[in-house]
């Protein structure tokens, strides 16, 4: 096979390179900057231009990394590689691999809805498609993001009228910036957890025009947050850091909010089904657009989605990987709900 699945990651033996490996290797092609796809310890990294700044921020400025633009072809020992927009976060890519007329595409993480911030998903035709399936069940069906942001802004406005600070959590890289861009800042000020603001500074340094935000610091007094919204990380929920915002109302923006009991288990007031991964329809749309004859399914509801594809007449198989999707956002206990929904959850 052109690509193989090894204990280090997805491997191209002809070019001697790995794609998003989870163990240290000599050459790594990286789809995007999230920790489960971009790991420390490789001798050489290749990513898109717009993914590189946050990768260097996370892994260190001294890593050996080169970049390519979307669509640029890099040839290694006769194998042609190119990166194409995945729509997941800024700089995220699908990686196309071609040798002797055979074409594979590794999706990385992706979503097909254009969020207006990330480079929009681009379908790439291939013979074999390696796709994620973080939300590979029919119950996962996202509303258009404009509707979700309308709900979030209405909730924020209501909290302000009740004298509460609004706290909304999402990943520091990707989700947080998407939330910031969707907020109606005429309601009040947007505050950020330090981990979020660190990423904001990296992204603003790339020329992205994010809405104004204010970093939360220990010196700030409670009165400064009145009527505002705080964009926090999932790990900040329930921590002593939250006390400075009392009284507050807490929400979570995650695809896992579609699960029964997810909001209750995380002890939050509101849950918003906003994900940077494709929903069930988006996964099917991407597979269909690829025109692939064979599909390998990684991380998520792999058994369910691969079985569905086989029933549709597409050769499909599940593959074990160490990619996590939005697993961090599930939280303790909610993973049980995920398993009960699909008998199979993120690996």
The pair phi, psi for residue 198, each rounded to 5°, is -60, -45
In this model, does residue 340 exceed pLDDT 60? no
Q: Scanning the structure block, which residue is given the tokens 């993480």?
A: 109
Q: Report if residue 217 sits inside a domain.
A: yes
In this model, does residue 38 exceed pLDDT 50? yes
In this model, does residue 263 exceed pLDDT 90? no
In this model, does residue 72 exceed pLDDT 50? yes
In this model, does residue 258 exceed pLDDT 70? yes
| DSSP bridge partners of 130 | 106, 296
Task: Name the pTM for this structure.
Answer: 0.93
Asked if 41 and 98 sit in the same domain, the reply is yes
Asked if 125 and 180 sit in the same domain, the reply is no
Asked if 155 and 136 sit in the same domain, the reply is no
Task: Give the Cα separation of 132 and 110 in Å (integer).
Answer: 8
pLDDT at 345: 38
Asked if 116 and 35 sit in the same domain, the reply is yes
- pLDDT > 90 fraction of the chain, expressed in percent and rounded: 87
The pair phi, psi for residue 92, each rounded to 5°, is -70, 150
Contact 263, 252 (CB under 8 A): yes
pLDDT at 346: 35
Asked if 43 and 126 sit in the same domain, the reply is yes
Domains: count for the chain:
2
pLDDT at 334: 44
Q: Report if residue 22 sits inside a domain.
A: yes
Q: Report if residue 317 sits inside a domain.
A: yes
| DSSP bridge partners of 179 | none
Task: Give the Cα separation of 270 and 249 in Å (integer).
Answer: 8
pLDDT at 262: 59
What are the pLDDT digits (tens) for 138-187? 999 999 999 999 999 999 999 999 999 999 999 999 999 999 999 999 99
In this model, does residue 339 exceed pLDDT 70? no
pLDDT at 110: 98
Q: Report if residue 347 sits inside a domain.
A: no
Max mean pLDDT range (78-92, 244-258, 330-344): 78-92
pLDDT at 249: 97
CA angle 111, 190, 192 (to 5 degrees): 75
Among 246, 272, 298, identify where a domain stops. Answer: 272
CA angle 84, 90, 95 (to 5 degrees): 25
Contact 136, 283 (CB under 8 A): yes
pLDDT at 330: 52
Average pLDDT, the chain: 92
The helix or strand, by DSSP H or E, that contains position 32, with its residue range, turns out to be: none
Task: Give the Cα separation of 337 and 332 in Å (integer).
Answer: 10
Q: Report if residue 62 sits inside a domain.
A: yes
DSSP string, 202-231: HHHTTT--PPP-EE--TT--GGGGTT-EEE
pLDDT at 52: 98
Asked if 78 and 197 sit in the same domain, the reply is no
**At 298, is the pLDDT very low, low, confident or very high (cuts 50, 70, 90)?**
very high
**At 333, is the pLDDT very low, low, confident or very high (cuts 50, 70, 90)?**
very low
**Sheet with 10-12, side-by-side order of all strands:** 4-5, 10-12, 17-19, 27-29, 44-48, 65-68
Q: Token pair for residue 278?
A: 């494709």
Asked if 206 and 223 sit in the same domain, the reply is yes
Among 224, 250, 272, identify where a domain stops. Answer: 272
Pick 265 or 276 by higher pLDDT.
Answer: 276
In this model, does residue 323 exceed pLDDT 90? no
Asked if 210 and 127 sit in the same domain, the reply is no
Average of per-residue pLDDT across 104-109 = 98
Asked if 188 and 286 sit in the same domain, the reply is no
Contact 160, 166 (CB under 8 A): yes
Q: Any idea what the CATH number is for the domain that residue 193 is in?
A: 3.40.50.10890
Task: Give the Cα separation of 25 and 204 in Å (integer).
Answer: 31
Among 224, 255, 272, identify where a domain stops. Answer: 272
In this model, does residue 85 exceed pLDDT 60? yes
Largest CA distance in the chain: 65
Asked if 209 and 266 sit in the same domain, the reply is yes
In this model, does residue 216 exceed pLDDT 80? yes
Asked if 29 and 54 sit in the same domain, the reply is yes
Three-state DSSP class for residue 181: helix
The pair phi, psi for residue 224, each rounded to 5°, is -65, -25
Task: Give the Cα separation of 345 and 208 in Å (integer).
Answer: 34
Average of per-residue pLDDT across 208-218 = 97
**At 237, is the pLDDT very low, low, confident or very high (cuts 50, 70, 90)?**
confident
What are the pLDDT digits (tens) for 269-288? 999 999 999 999 999 999 99
Tell me which residue range forms the domain holding 188. 145-272
Asked if 210 and 334 sit in the same domain, the reply is no
């Amino acid at each position: 096979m052109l690509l193989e699945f090894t204990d280090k990651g997805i491997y191209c033996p002809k070019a001697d390179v790995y794609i998003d490996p989870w163990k240290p290797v000599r050459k790594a092609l990286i789809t995007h900057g999230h920790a489960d796809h971009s790991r420390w310890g490789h001798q050489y990294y290749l990513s898109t231009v717009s993914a590189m700044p946050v990768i260097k921020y996370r892994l260190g400025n001294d890593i050996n990394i080169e970049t390519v633009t979307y669509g640029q072809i890099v040839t290694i020992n006769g194998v042609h590689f190119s990166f194409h927009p995945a729509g997941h976060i800024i700089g995220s890519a699908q990686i196309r691999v071609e040798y002797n007329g055979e074409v594979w595409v590794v999706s990385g993480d992706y979503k097909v809805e254009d969020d207006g911030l990330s480079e929009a998903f681009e379908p790439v035709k291939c013979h074999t498609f390696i796709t994620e399936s973080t939300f590979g069940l029919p119950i996962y069906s996202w509303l258009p993001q404009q509707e979700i942001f309308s709900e979030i802004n209405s909730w924020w406005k209501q909290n302000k009228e009740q004298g509460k600070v609004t706290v909304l959590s999402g990943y520091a890289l990707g989700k947080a910036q998407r939330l910031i861009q969707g907020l109606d800042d005429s309601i009040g000020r947007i505050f950020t957890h330090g981990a979020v603001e660190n990423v904001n500074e990296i992204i603003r340094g790339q020329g992205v025009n994010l809405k104004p935000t204010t970093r939360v610091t220990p010196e700030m007094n409670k009165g400064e947050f009145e009527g505002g919204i705080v964009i926090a990380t999932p790990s900040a929920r329930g921590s002593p850091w939250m006390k400075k915002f009392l009284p507050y109302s807490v929400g979570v923006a995650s695809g896992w909010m579609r699960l029964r009991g997810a909001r209750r288990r995380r002890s939050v007031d509101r849950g918003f089904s906003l994900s940077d991964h494709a929903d069930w329809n988006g996964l099917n749309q991407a597979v269909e657009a690829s025109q692939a004859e064979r599909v390998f399914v990684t991380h998520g509801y792999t058994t369910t989605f691969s079985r569905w594809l086989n029933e549709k007449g597409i050769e499909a198989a599940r593959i074990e990987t160490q990619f996590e999707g939005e697993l961090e956002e599930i939280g303790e206990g909610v993973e049980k709900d995920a398993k009960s929904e699909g008998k199979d959850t993120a690996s």
